[in-house]
Structure 1
Amino acid sequence: MPSAQPPSPEASIAQNSPHVLLPFLQSQSQNALTRLYQRPSSCLSIFRLLAPLSRQLVMNLLWLDSPVLAGTMAAWVVPDGKKLYDEALNTLTRLHILQSSGAKLALNPTFKASMRQAITCSGTTGSFGVPAQRDDRRDAPSVETLDGYAVQRWETILHYMVSSGQGQYPTKPTQGVLYLLQRSGLMASYHGSTLQITSSGFQFLLYSPHDQLWDLLLQYLHMVEERQMDLVEVLSFFFMLSTMELGREYSTEPLSETQKAMLEDLRDYGLVWQRKASSKRFSPTRLATTLTSVSPSLPTAGGSRNPGSAPGASSVANSTGINTNDHGFIVLETNYRVYAYTDNPLQIAVLNLFITLKYRFPNLVVGMLTRESVRRALGNGISAEQVISYLTAHAHPQMRKNNPLLPVTVQDQVRLWELERNRLKSDDGFLYKDFATQADYEYVLAYAKELDVVLWENTSKRCFFGTLDGHTNVRGFIERRTGGGM
């Protein structure tokens, strides 16, 4: 087993809001979680996902052989921290990490034993992976090779989403990836057409690679049952990958059948690398080894300095191109002209979703926010607020000196274009007309209004439009009044 030490706050996900995986784990049965806690790598990974206070409580109880009185534990908490303390206890209890027997608190024995093994490097469970025997004929893949593979696979997915399947790429996402994108609501097929990016999909593009990956993996977990896979084996493999060493090859022999089947899917997502599908070895990429870490999920690369930025300020752009440097790269003028200091194809493709590109230079793209470009984005499910949020999140440092950040006239116009598009609303229903007399029309109309199913009426033409749900009742009323005819 590789050496393992208690993760420090810097090496763990330190955040007040819970990790997206924790609610999913809390929804699982106690038996499933107890099976999961039999693996030290799973316990260590879940520990990393906990909030700082929850981790502190676990460490305080980990080496105690007897339960602690709840009152004694509560005495450690200052009054201002009572709410956070109660939330931490609730989280640990729902994860079945903490056991409460009335007035006493103790850790789940299975979790405690496995966590101790993870910290002290004891035991021979192999839950951290079994390194493959050295092969003198070939070396393990380099970190650069693994990073390049992960970036290529991940950008293939993002490029396909941005282009809605209309682009030309050397490689296209596999059918399994496309099915996952559709099931997760990031892309949708309308009237049998090719997959189109949805509003949720555009919001997905604004997330960090770490959040993007967990969004897809959560949907993958929700599909486990219909694929007749063992959920505990799937979760434990994710956690195993997150504790492996980057640049090292591991053997597939100790893996369960479920985990071996997962290798094909994880290759498509860029989480694992294999020389060929039948290989008995695999290497986790950075996407996998950072699943429960705060380290970047993909390699960062230094770029040229943005024109107009402060001297010495470097542009460190994420290789996916979506999450750019901390300084931003977009300048928006009051005349709707957009200047984007970037040469990343994926960033440019995202901008092309809602602006009309005019010029492209080595490190600069110029475009316009137009009525047509915004309406095109709205037609793809992207809202006006998402467009404004994207421009705000990636504004250039020079823009951040403005108050407000974006020109108010441009923000208002984008929202007006959305209102203009949404000024008409369609409803399914039935048109009632050709009444014999005005009295018949008014009598039926009054009945329909009592049911609150009238959407439109025209007294002069003796017709009205009713909802789909109310048609059965209105039709029956008319038939009863006319003796069976309409």
Structure 2
Amino acid sequence: MADNGIGTSKLDNSTFITQSNLECKNLYDYLKTRPPNTLERLYNHPAICLAVYRELPELARQYVIRILFVEQPVPQAVVASWGSQSFAREHNYVTKVLTELNVWMEGSLPGGLIGWILSPTFKRNLKIALLGGGKQWSMSSALEPDKNARDVSFLDTYSSERWECVLHYMVGSQQQEGISADAVRILLHAKLMKRDEEDGSPVITRQGFQFLLLDRQAQVWHFLLQYLDTVEQRGLDLVECLTFLFQLSFSTLGKDYSTEGMSAGLLIFLQHLREFGLVYQRKRKAGRFYPTRLALNITNSQNKNAPLLEEDSPKGYIIVETNYRVYAYTDSNLQVALIALFTELMYRFPNLVVGIITRDSIRQALRGGITADQIIGYLKQHAHPQMLAADQKQTLPPTVVDQIKLWELERNRLTYHEGVLYSQFLSQADFNVLKEYAQSNGVLIWCNKEKRTLVVNKNAHDEVKKFWKKYSKGS
């Protein structure tokens, strides 16, 4: 029998599909990729400890709060006994999360038992965040009254306009203001845009199409993560920028904060946040700034009741009819450009755009990387109040929803699996033994009895290989 490691004919296709889709990380996914020394520096700040604690799964938060004031390791068996055995999978998962985030660590007990104890740095600063005390944050609110004070409605309008400049640039619609070369570099780094092969100008990518249909909070968080990947190249301190971002998420909307005491790197970071609409500052040297709604609770994905911007609120503008026509009551070039991603526009009036959903328009959107669920979700999110009437069980016409999904299924007729090819068996008996082993373990992808060839799941290759060696020695 020959083990052909190169027999992964579908490996390249599977890898291509994975890399072409937009990967939206949450706070846990991002922090677990940071080295331990970076996490240790981050946990020196109460704001970060509190944000991490809020983002933990509910069971993990229970574990942390129960051992927060315990000064010695708690036996692992005791921690496991706090939950029912039917939730053993959840227990294993949260144990993995807390370990990867360096929130807790293993500790030895008398008698050789192993227990869990919170990281000293995380424990100390989480106590400060929950109970008060500690050093003053770099964002100080000790300021004289601002003679040019801004109210919440002004900040909402400002943040919406600044963020929409980025989205306008991505869809290539007409706009009055452009974005800086620095923001363009972030879009290119995030692979939301790429350089055109002919003229070198930035054009939107498959991931960029998917990005446009995300909700506003998810867009900002993903964009900031891509920015943070480049802060060290700019000569900025990642920990310092992350700390300020977390502190910003706990700020009060409509309140001004002083820039006094900020380092030169933080002041540069503040100007970048100003461009993206996360903070408002009248002048660079104004000495104060106002956090906007975009910056509030930015890391809190579990907070479904976070305040929304006006354009993200339930007051939608889209009506979808059973004949596949779409009516968008808007005069925003950005919203029109988003509708055009998956519809064929028919008419445009000063405050109304009429389009139709067709097989070709949906297939074009699918080729751009947009999924059927994203299209349906966008239409639901921005549905007109008349479509949200209480007597209607479904927001969108079921015929339209089902047809969009069917058009997507037309393109998803093949499923790719990474596999390893086994061939050139010396006898039919050898082939049958390995085939039965792979089949019984659920790792057999394909087999051919006549040619004595089979393909097993790539992840199970090592186990299958060990079994074959053991069988070969025994026979």
TM-score exceeds 0.5: yes
Specify the alignment match of 2:127 in structure 1. 116
TM-score (norm 2): 0.70
TM-score (norm 1): 0.68
- Within the candidate set 212, 225, 228, 1:218 is matched to 225
Amino acid at match of 2:346: K
Cα separation, partners in 2 of 1:246 and 1:357, compared to 1, 3 Å: same
1:400-437 CA distance string (max 9 Å, x none): 575455363x7656877x89xxxxxxxxxxxxxxxxxx
1:19-68 CA distance string (max 9 Å, x none): 61212211222221111111111111111221211111111111222221
- Within the candidate set 113, 136, 144, 1:126 is matched to 136
Specify the alignment match of 2:154 in structure 1. 145
Specify the alignment match of 1:169 in structure 2. 175
* Preserved CA contact (<8 Å) 1:186 1:200: yes
Cα separation, partners in 2 of 1:277 and 1:160, compared to 1, 3 Å: same
Amino acid at match of 2:122: F
- Within the candidate set 126, 137, 155, 2:164 is matched to 155
1:430-462 CA distance string (max 9 Å, x none): xxxxxxxxxxxxxxxxxxxxxxxxxxxxxxxxx
* Preserved CA contact (<8 Å) 1:250 1:281: yes
Structure 2 Cα separation of the partners of residues 77 and 384 of structure 1: 38
Aligned-pair CA distance for 1:114:
0.8
* Preserved CA contact (<8 Å) 1:246 1:286: yes
Structure 2 Cα separation of the partners of residues 224 and 87 of structure 1: 31
Equivalence map 1:378-397=2 (5 Å): 381-382=368-369, 385=372, 389=376, 393=380, 396=387
Cα separation, partners in 2 of 1:401 and 1:393, compared to 1, 3 Å: closer
* Preserved CA contact (<8 Å) 1:40 1:127: no
Cα separation, partners in 2 of 1:64 and 1:402, compared to 1, 3 Å: same
Matched, 1:107 2:118: yes
Equivalence map 1:11-90=2 (5 Å): 20-90=26-96
* Preserved CA contact (<8 Å) 1:19 1:50: no
Aligned-pair CA distance for 1:101:
1.7
Structure 1 Cα separation of the partners of residues 31 and 231 of structure 2: 14
Equivalence map 1:187-336=2 (5 Å): 187-191=193-197, 192-293=199-300, 294=303, 299-301=308-310, 317-318=311-312, 329-334=318-323, 336=324
Sequence identity percentage: 36
Specify the alignment match of 2:325 in structure 1. 337
Cα separation, partners in 2 of 1:104 and 1:415, compared to 1, 3 Å: closer
Amino acid at match of 2:38: A
* Preserved CA contact (<8 Å) 1:203 1:386: no
Matched, 1:368 2:368: no
Structure 2 Cα separation of the partners of residues 36 and 150 of structure 1: 28
Specify the alignment match of 1:349 in structure 2. 337
Structure 1 Cα separation of the partners of residues 53 and 96 of structure 2: 15
Cα separation, partners in 2 of 1:76 and 1:384, compared to 1, 3 Å: closer
Structure 1, unmatched stretches of 5+, are 1-17, 302-316, 420-486
Amino acid at match of 2:39: L
Specify the alignment match of 1:441 in structure 2. none
Structure 2 Cα separation of the partners of residues 297 and 151 of structure 1: 16
Aligned-pair CA distance for 1:257:
2.7
Aligned-pair CA distance for 1:374:
5.8
1:258-278 CA distance string (max 9 Å, x none): 212201110111111111112
Cα separation, partners in 2 of 1:351 and 1:415, compared to 1, 3 Å: farther
Describe the SS at the equivalent of 1:289. coil
Q: How many residues align?
A: 373
Aligned-pair CA distance for 1:342:
5.1
Aligned-pair CA distance for 1:354:
3.3
Amino acid at match of 1:352: A
Structure 1 Cα separation of the partners of residues 123 and 208 of structure 2: 40
Aligned-pair CA distance for 1:186:
1.1
Structure 1 Cα separation of the partners of residues 276 and 347 of structure 2: 34
* Preserved CA contact (<8 Å) 2:174 2:333: no
Structure 1 Cα separation of the partners of residues 55 and 165 of structure 2: 28
Aligned-pair CA distance for 1:133:
1.8
Structure 2 Cα separation of the partners of residues 257 and 295 of structure 1: 35
Describe the SS at the equivalent of 1:338. strand
Describe the SS at the equivalent of 2:203. strand
Cα separation, partners in 2 of 1:340 and 1:358, compared to 1, 3 Å: same
* Preserved CA contact (<8 Å) 2:327 2:353: yes
Structure 2 Cα separation of the partners of residues 183 and 50 of structure 1: 29
* Preserved CA contact (<8 Å) 1:251 1:282: yes
Specify the alignment match of 1:311 in structure 2. none
* Preserved CA contact (<8 Å) 2:256 2:290: yes
* Preserved CA contact (<8 Å) 1:291 1:297: no
Structure 1 Cα separation of the partners of residues 380 and 52 of structure 2: 31
Amino acid at match of 1:99: M
Amino acid at match of 1:177: A
Aligned-pair CA distance for 1:333:
4.0
Cα separation, partners in 2 of 1:344 and 1:116, compared to 1, 3 Å: same
Structure 2 Cα separation of the partners of residues 239 and 111 of structure 1: 15
* Preserved CA contact (<8 Å) 2:158 2:277: yes
Specify the alignment match of 1:9 in structure 2. none
Aligned-pair CA distance for 1:183:
1.2
Structure 1 Cα separation of the partners of residues 25 and 374 of structure 2: 26
* Preserved CA contact (<8 Å) 2:76 2:116: yes
Specify the alignment match of 2:19 in structure 1. none
1:223-256 CA distance string (max 9 Å, x none): 1232232211121111111112222222222223
Amino acid at match of 1:49: E
Cα separation, partners in 2 of 1:75 and 1:328, compared to 1, 3 Å: farther
* Preserved CA contact (<8 Å) 1:355 1:367: yes
Aligned-pair CA distance for 1:96:
0.8
Amino acid at match of 2:327: Y
Structure 1 Cα separation of the partners of residues 380 and 363 of structure 2: 21
RMSD value, Cα: 3.1
* Preserved CA contact (<8 Å) 1:359 1:366: yes
Describe the SS at the equivalent of 1:275. coil
Specify the alignment match of 2:461 in structure 1. none
